[in-house]
Every structure is written in C-alpha cells, then in structure tokens.
Structure 1
C-alpha cells in the first residue's frame, strides 16, 4: 500500500476495497488519510487540482515496521504457548 510506494487516493480506495471485499466510503477514506497526514505518518502532495498523492514518511514506515514486529512477537508467544 502506501508503505511500498506513493499512491493516489482513488488507488488507495481500490486497494482497500480489494483487500476487504467491500466498498470503501470516500467520506471516511479522505478524513482518515488527512489524519495520517496530521500525525506525520503520511505526506500528501497535489498532483493536479483533483488528485493528491500519498506517500509514507520515514516516521510512517518506522511505525508500521514497529507494529508489524509487535504483532509478530505476540503471534510467536501465542504459538509457543499453544505448543507447550
């Protein structure tokens, strides 16, 4: 998604719809993207009057990687407890 390469809003919407197999509401997507921008996790640049490009910042990539590491650690603990 945004972590891998810059995306425009409609492209993000389509990827989310494919992933979740359901429609994504514009009225929720863009405010959420703006929240990520405000948190410094995503950078928004204007491509033209109607299209914005969203790119993960260094902070955004770091937070995503830390979250992925946390989830992996928890899964490992859960699996180890299941096996024991």
Structure 2
C-alpha cells in the first residue's frame, strides 16, 4: 500500500487538487488549480507523468471525457491516503482539531 511519504510533494498536491476541483477534474483544471498555488507554472509533461504514476499506484482513475481530455478521480485508496494525512495533521494540531470540530475560525 502506498503511503503519504512514498509520494513526492507534487504528487500529494495532485491528489489534493483532484479532491478539490469541482465538476470534472481534468488535466488543465488540475494545472490551473496548482498554478494558483505554485510560484512557477506547472509543466504539462510533469503534470501528466505524475498523473500516470498515481494511476499506476491505483490512487486515481483516468476516464476519457472526449478524444483529447481525461477526467481524473480518486480511488478508494487515494481517498484513504488523503484521509489518513488529514487525521495525522489534525491529531498533531489540537487547535486545528477544535476548529474543525466546531467550525470556528
């Protein structure tokens, strides 16, 4: 089973992007999401090579939307990996846990 620490930071960010992008998380939508968060633009080759690696690890699935566009969704393993990381970070940050439970800011 792949763990959070087996992945690169970029791959972890890609999983987060897939979970965060509403509608159909296709390649360019994921790139746009990450471009807003990274100082330098994301290279197409880097994006698609890492999406392929995550698919090979069974953390996401790729479904054809049309002849040129694929939609990416998290598998159960991908969602569980993200949830384990959320649980870990929440347990390390008591104030964050309190905010998450109560919905305070």
Query: Under TM normalisation by the shorter chain, which class is it?
Result: 0.7 to 0.9
Q: How many residues align?
A: 76
Q: CA deviation at 1:73?
A: 2.4
Normalising by structure 1, what TM-score?
0.79
Q: Deviation per CA, 1:19-47, whole angstroms, max 9, x where unpaired?
A: 22430001111010011111111010011
Q: Which moved more, 1:34-43 or 1:2-11?
A: 2-11
Aligned partner of 2:45 in structure 1 is 27
Query: Deviations along 1:56-84, whole A, 9 cap, x unmatched?
Result: 111111110101211222344xxxxxxxx
Give the unaligned 5+ runs of structure 2.
Answer: 1-16, 95-105
Runs of 4+ in 1 over 6 A off after TM superposition: none
RMSD: 1.5
TM-score, normalising length from structure 2? 0.65
